[in-house]
Every structure is written in C-alpha cells, then in structure tokens.
Amino acid sequence: MAKSLEYIRLDKFPHVWCPGCGIGIVMGSIIRAVDKMEINKNDVVMVSGIGCSGRMPGYCDFNTLHTTHGRALSFATGIKLANPKFKVITVMGDGDALAIGGNHLIHAARRNIDILAIIINNWIYGMTGGQYSPTTPLGSFATTAPYGQVEPPFDVLKLIKGSGASYIARGTVYHIRELDKLISGGLQKKGFAVVEVISQCPTSFGRRNKMGSAVEMMKRQKEETVPVKKAEKMSKEELKGKIVRGLFLDEERDEYTERYEKLIAKAKEVHQK
C-alpha cells in the first residue's frame, strides 16, 4: 500500500531503530488504522515520551510532539482538553509508560480521557542501555540485573483495568493483522484506550537473554501467546508461561473532556446568575 508513504516524513528515513526492532511495525499498524478510519492526518496528534518509541512522532506526518520521560500522557491530556476535536495518540515504551510515567497512566485511565495509549512492551529500556523495566520477566537478564531480574513484573492490563480504562487490548507485532484490528478499535473508542503491543528488542533484550535474532523473537510471540477466547478454556497449568492476547475490555463510560465541557457550561451558568 503505497498510501502509507503519505503518512511518513520521507526526508527522515531510513529511521534510527535497530534492524529487526518492532517499533517500526507498530508505527505501520497505527498509520493503517488512521488511514482505514479516514481520519485527516492533520486532525491526529501523536505524542511520545523518551526512549526508542519516543522517536516515532519524528517519523509520522501528523501533528507531533516529543515530550519528556514518562510525560506523554500529561501533554496529551492538555492537548485533548484544549482541543477535543483532535484524535490524540500517545506512544510509549514499557519503561516510559509504567515506571517514569506510571502515575500519569493510571490517572489518565481513571479520568477516562479520550486518548489512545499504545504501550510498546519490549521488556527492557532499550535506548539507555538495557536496564530492567517494570515488565522485565523474573529471572531475565539486564545490565542492571546481571544475575537475573529479582522483581516480579506488572501485569500491564490488570493495572489499567483496575484504574478504569474503557478499551484494553494486547497484541504482538507477529500477529500483525490482529494488531491492526486492535489499534483501529482503540482509535474508534471514545474514552481511554490502551493497546499493549508485545514487541522485540533484539539488541538490548534478545542478545542479553540469548533469544536469537528478531525473527526468533517473533516466533516466540507466536508460540508463547494464546488468543483470549482460547485462554478462557485453558486451565491455570496450561496457561503457565503463556501471554494472553486479544481484546480484554470494550465498554462505554463517561468521557472526561465531555464531562469537563459540561462542567464549564455549568460554571458559566452559575457565574451569570
């Protein structure tokens, strides 16, 4: 689809991501979702924090903003409140979204603000040199865990569900057609939507954990994940070591900017009396 070229800043290519990095695949999926929904690219705002994923707005021809570490959602909240007609997409890594930006994430979910938050989970801080993140699996190696990670990871989706988002999904870059659908669904949702994307970092995570090439890491995404429908019929034993993927939650709830506009109207009314 040569159309994808209309959404990228060609003068910035080739991009900076390592060979086999999944972030470029996620970017393609986001672009296809915007194109499929026929949203004008000038009505889209893409916001990122710091990290490898933070580079994505530089390559996408939307309104784009590259902010400070963990603060993509705080800037995005401001943008959405200032101009609710914008479709706001934030792109964060696991460290950016869950460690430095963890508080912004749970509160954006609590407010149910109409933002699509893509969390690219590659289990590690890639850009800064392979430090462990809040999703690094127990026992995995990182530069800051030379004897294996001793902390248990977050279950990202349970965290978000507890905080109150209205759309929650998990996909992988291997299951690309499914990912396209999940991201489109999140983009259509009026409310806070989170799509966690399991991705590979062959350079900082794969290499240190002897997982082989990007191709080998993507084969793992195929072997180690199960669709949510299938998982419902599996026992706890069978699900051990598996990651469940698919759509976990899709419900209608009061959205924040709408509630805020009502509040402004009410305040004006009170003021005029």
**Could you say which residues in the range 174-203 bind other proteins, by CB under 8 A?**
174, 176-177, 180, 202
* Under rule CB under 8 A, residue 84 binds other proteins: no
6 or 151: CB nearest other proteins: 6
Q: Which stretch binds other proteins (CB under 8 A): 34-42, 73-81, 212-220, 224-232?
A: 212-220
* Under rule CB under 8 A, residue 118 binds other proteins: no
Distance set, CA 93 to CA 100, 198, 270 (Å): 10, 10, 44
**Could you say which residues in the range 35-74 bind other proteins, by CB under 8 A?**
none
* Under rule CB under 8 A, residue 218 binds other proteins: yes
* Under rule CB under 8 A, residue 12 binds other proteins: no
What does the alpha-carbon distance between residue 187 and residue 77 come to, in Å, rounded to a whole number? Answer: 16
* H-state helical runs in 133-243: 156-163, 176-188, 214-223, 228-232, 236-239
* Under rule CB under 8 A, residue 25 binds other proteins: yes
What does the alpha-carbon distance between residue 172 and residue 246 come to, in Å, rounded to a whole number? Answer: 9
Q: Is the four-CA dihedral 108, 109, 114, 118 of positive or negative sign?
A: positive
* Under rule CB under 8 A, residue 109 binds other proteins: no
Angle of helix 256-272 relative to helix 72-82, nearest 10 degrees? 50
Task: Using CB under 8 A, list all residues that contact other proteins.
Answer: 1-2, 4-6, 8, 10, 13-15, 17-25, 28-29, 173-174, 176-177, 180, 202, 213-215, 218-219
